[in-house]
Chains A and B, each alone.
Chain A
Amino acid sequence: MKDVRDALMVAYTSDGKTVRRPLSPHLQIYAPQITSILSIMNRVTGIALSVGTLLLVWWLVAAASGPGAFAAVQGFVASPVGLFVLFGWTTSLLFHFFNGIRHLAWDAGFGFDLPQTYTSGWAVVIATAVSTVLVWAVGLWLL
């Protein structure tokens, strides 16, 4: 045993013999791929949206509290930080929305081929970008 990490590479064959099995390569070994990036982005946007629910709750509670409290939320959302948060929130929501539909398609057994996975991945990226711009264009136009 040259490397202490070898101590973790112990496994048993079905007839009970101990064998040395390799560890799977760690995260930094892999080149980034659209599949892995979108996979982790689904979780990242999920966490972002969880934090973002605070804004929704604040908005609803302020609306129920009265015009003064509501003006405070509107002031925050209209500030540079607020606009940035809301833009990130919109992007996260739309990404999680489209990638969630992609996941539901997989759960139903569709789109498992590698080329299809790549196509659907890029479709999610494009749909997120286009719909985010569209929602903000409509929002700013209505304002």
Chain B
Amino acid sequence: MRESISINVRRSQLGRARGVGAGHSGVGHWRSERITSIALVPLTLWFIYAMLHLVGAPQPAVAAWVSNPINATLLLVLIFVTFQHMHLGFQVICEDYVSNKWQMTLMILGAKAVSLVLGLLASVAVLKLALT
């Protein structure tokens, strides 16, 4: 009598599923990746427009352009969202193709560190141009 067998599990279904197998923490990552990509649609269009506006411009002209608060703010947002999207995307690629767990973790953490440093470096450069 298969039907009569029952087990009482005093844990919620969510509690049982959390942290098991591939279900570590996918939703937050997935959502961040989509939100950053949606934000990057208008930002990329603006960036292409800005680069065409600045094509061949000498340093003083570029400095003057960045010193406009709107341009500086949009650049900072672009930098933040780009590097965020970059390390999220790189993480998925590592998770898919690097089978060694240690190597994978090191590559993901390395990419996050590089994204952080490059993003900060670019932001500091923008702030220096914007505030001087």
Q: List residues of A whose CB falls within 8 A of some B CB.
A: 43, 46-47, 49-50, 53-54, 56-57, 60-64, 66-67, 70-71, 74, 93, 97, 100-101, 103-104, 107, 135, 138-139, 142-143
Q: How many A-B residue pairs have CB under 8 A?
A: 78
Chain A residues contacting B40 (CB-CB under 8 Å) are 97, 100
Chain B: number of interface residues, binned into ranges: 20 to 34
Q: Is the CB of B62 within 8 A of A50?
A: no
Q: Which one of A49, A50, A54, A143 lies within 8 Å of B55 (CB-CB)? A: A143
B89 at the interface (CB under 8 A from A): yes
B28 at the interface (CB under 8 A from A): no
A100 to B33, CA, bound (A): 11
Q: Is the CB of A104 within 8 A of B34?
A: yes
4 nearest A-B residue pairs (beta carbon)? A70-B59, A64-B125, A60-B125, A67-B59
Secondary structure type dominating chain B contacts = helix
Nearest CB on A from B114, distance (A): 9
Q: Which one of A46, A135, A139 lies within 8 Å of B89 (CB-CB)? A: A46
B22 at the interface (CB under 8 A from A): no
A141 to B118, CA, bound (A): 32
13 additional A-B residue pairs with CB within 8 Å, beyond A71-B59, A74-B56: A43-B89, A46-B93, A50-B86, A50-B90, A53-B83, A60-B125, A61-B122, A64-B124, A64-B125, A70-B59, A93-B44, A100-B37, A101-B41
Chain B residues contacting A53 (CB-CB under 8 Å) are 82-83, 86, 118, 122
Which has the most chain A C-beta neighbours within 10 Å: B40, B89, B125?
A: B125
Which has the most chain B C-beta neighbours within 10 Å: A50, A67, A74, A100?
A: A50
